[in-house]
A and B are shown apart, each in its own frame.
Chain A
Amino acid sequence: MSTIEVTLLTGRTIDQGTTKEHGKLSDEYRENVAICEMDPNDLKELDVKENSNIRVSTKHGSVIVKVKESKRAPHPKIAYMPYSLWVNIIVNPQTHGTGMPSFKGIAAEIQAAPTEKVPSIPQLLKQTFRKE
């Protein structure tokens, strides 16, 4: 299975902003934030179609999300994910003495994951942070 190396950016989108007001446990929120926007040429290189599942991995972890063809292209080898629990479990916690983790410009790898499912928030919480 092919893998491509990208620079991962995280940030706000208008859909993330509106759907979080409808509830973070809503399907609408998950559909709009558990996604990764990629350049159309990168999608071709990875041989995946829009809305299929991909695994985004950094040295801090990996997560399954849906892939979207970016409407903000061209941005070759730059992947964009909206702020959310899904992406923040794989960002770089290093603050370099400023208090601010590195939420943007993170080295990441992306693979197709057709047989895996995008986890829900309760599933993600259970598998990442167990509460005794």
Chain B
Amino acid sequence: MPVIKNVTCPICGTLCDDLDVTVKKNVIIDVKNACAVSEAKFMSFSNPEHRNLKPLIRKKGELTEVSFDEAVKKSAQILADASYPILYGWSCTSCEAIRVGVEIAEEVGGVIDNTSTVCHGPSILSIQNVGIPTCTLGQIRHRADLIIYWASDPYSAHPRHMERYTAFSEGRFQESGWEHYVARLRGILGKKRLSRASERVLMEEVSLPAIAGKKLPPEFETKKRKLIVVDVRKTRSAELADFFIQVEPNRDFELIQALRLLVRDEELEVDKVAGVPVELLEGVADAMVRCDFGVLFFGVGLTMSSGKQQNIDAAIALTRDLNYRTKFAIMPMRGHFNVAGANVVSTWQTGYPFAVDFSQGYPRYNPGETSVVDILCRDEANAGLIIASDPVSNFPKEAVQNLVKNPLIVIDPVISPTTMMADVVFPSAFVGIEAEGTAYRMDRVPLPMKKLVNPPPTCLSDKEILQRILRQVRKIKQRRKA
């Protein structure tokens, strides 16, 4: 049976490119090296129960099957008639499709925004403010000896990130911490057994030591490659870490600024910051300064809570401070597989990475004003085109109410709350499974997405659907000019 090697995974920004996929008669029957989420996608993407298989148009309140040409004509009419349409999504499609999307936005004088607006948008604003000392994931795999995940749970959102690039990867100059973790896990399980046995004998509860103590554990000093997790809850990633720091919600900014002071050898005249003992923070600052090459990965826990871009400003400033003492890098944990690509394409085409407004005939960028959630909450848009995204599930209610009351075109391989509220639905092919293209990894390394099987005959690629809509929009505009 043909095994397609080195397949790039169309799930998260880690963009693992070592999957082996077995295909038999245009059906994927096995996938190796995939994480749980990736395996779920490869093995169930073709399930017709949750797939859009025919173009649909809402008629008398019901979504009704139509021809592809009719759906294209209706969509082009909606976009050409709208004075301020929004074009949103883009992070789960190819760079080639995004490029066509930018052309449509310019043609119709709309706003093109991608999912980074509700993900790492504040990180981008901060990078534009402060700059970013960063590197590629390969550098981290081979050289980083201190890894910090801050407000990020890679176990859940980027399941193979640790295995491929950080604590559990075997680098050229750094060993994997996997064996150490397994030994520690055995120790914890042994203690748990002992505790349960003691409870039976003593008839009283025997508590286990918490991961988050007041001091770094002694073995932390001797370990070569160290992993610290900072989060508001003891996430699954925190359980894998050498040390977990539990910060109070909405107080990351204070904690980062406290670490900045300690890295600069200043003293803190309090006992705790954001619920974390200063004694412990001193140990962490010491570990940061003493490492050879540290990296701080941060998640949307920083961008979505109080402070938003201020949190990222502080985190980047901490990294900059650390670079006076040692080598340190910082990187946002990008979510969707091509969200970085959406920023890259948008930047090279328009000059701006997201929230680009073409209503004046030239690109304008002012997040807070030209970002989709703000436009919708102010009820300014009068049509929408959504591609490879589900904003009805992911946006706040106030924004969704104004999104769905206007004509809504959705291009998506799967049935979602957004396709259920649409006026026009295009069934599309899955990029990276049924259509090829290019995607950018979280460190902005471009990788090819392969076509493994043929899509159902009624499903075209995102790029093709968008090109057909663009051609039709141009026809309408030319007719109007004539």
Contact = CB atoms under 8 A, between A and B. Distances in A.
A105 B401 CA distance: 23
Interface string A112-131: 00000000011001001101
Interface string A22-66: 111110000000000000000000000000000000001100000
Nearest to B404: A129
A22 B414 CA distance: 10
Contacts of B159: 14, 17
Interface string B90-129: 0000000000000000000000010001100110010000
B117 A21 contact: no
Given A99-B371, A100-B122, A23 B232 contact: no
B122 A98 contact: yes
Contacts of A132: 61, 405
Nearest to A61: B397
Contacts of B415: 23-25
A128 B155 CA distance: 33
A20 to B, nearest CB: 8
A3 interface: no
B37 interface: yes
A72 B371 contact: no
Nearest to B419: A24
Interface stretch (B44-52, B141-149, B177-185, B186-194): B44-52
B335 to A, nearest CB: 8
A129 B392 contact: yes
A85 B417 contact: yes
A89 B394 CA distance: 9
B23 interface: no
A23 B47 contact: yes
A69 B400 CA distance: 31
B236 interface: yes
B309 interface: yes
B44 A88 contact: no
Interface in B297-331: 300-301, 303-306, 308-309
Given A95-B373, A98-B367, A125-B417, A131 B404 contact: yes
A60 B398 CA distance: 9
B439 interface: no
Given A24-B416, A88-B395, A98 B36 contact: no
A75 B275 CA distance: 12
Interface in A50-104: 60-61, 70, 72-73, 75, 78, 80, 83-85, 88-93, 95-104
Contacts of A73: 234
Nearest to A121: B417
Contacts of B304: 10, 100-105
Contacts of B49: 23
Q: How large is the interface on B (under 10, 10 to 19, 20 to 34, 35 or more residues)?
A: 35 or more
Nearest to A124: B417
A72 B11 CA distance: 25
B398 to A, nearest CB: 4
The main secondary structure of chain A at its interface with chain B is loop
B169 interface: no
Given A101-B396, A104-B249, A13 B50 contact: no
A108 to B, nearest CB: 12
Nearest to B393: A85
Nearest to B238: A72
A22 B40 contact: yes
Q: How large is the interface on A (under 10, 10 to 19, 20 to 34, 35 or more residues)?
A: 35 or more
A125 B249 CA distance: 30
Interface in B138-158: 153, 155-157
Contacts of B301: 11, 104
A79 B249 CA distance: 11
A125 B257 CA distance: 43
B464 interface: no
Nearest to A83: B394
Contacts of B374: 95, 99
Contact of B414 (A24, A90, A97, A99): A24
Contacts of A19: 40
A99 B367 contact: yes
B398 A93 contact: yes
Contact of B309 (A12, A98, A105, A125): A98
Nearest to B395: A88
A129 B408 CA distance: 13
B69 to A, nearest CB: 25
A17 B11 CA distance: 9
A99 B373 contact: yes
Contacts of B399: 93, 101
Interface of B: 11, 36-37, 40-41, 44-45, 47, 49-50, 58, 61, 113, 117-118, 121-122, 125, 153, 155-157, 159, 232-236, 238, 246, 249-250, 300-301, 303-306, 308-309, 354-355, 367-368, 371-374, 377, 390, 392-401, 404-405, 414-417, 420-421
29 contacts: A7-B250, A9-B232, A9-B233, A14-B155, A17-B36, A17-B157, A17-B159, A22-B40, A23-B44, A24-B390, A24-B393, A60-B397, A75-B234, A85-B393, A88-B396, A91-B397, A92-B396, A93-B397, A95-B371, A100-B118, A101-B373, A104-B300, A105-B306, A125-B420, A129-B400, A129-B404, A129-B421, A131-B405, A132-B405
Given A11-B156, A23-B49, A98-B125, 17 more contacts: A9-B249, A14-B37, A14-B236, A18-B37, A23-B47, A24-B50, A60-B396, A61-B397, A83-B394, A91-B397, A93-B373, A99-B374, A101-B118, A101-B373, A105-B305, A121-B417, A131-B61
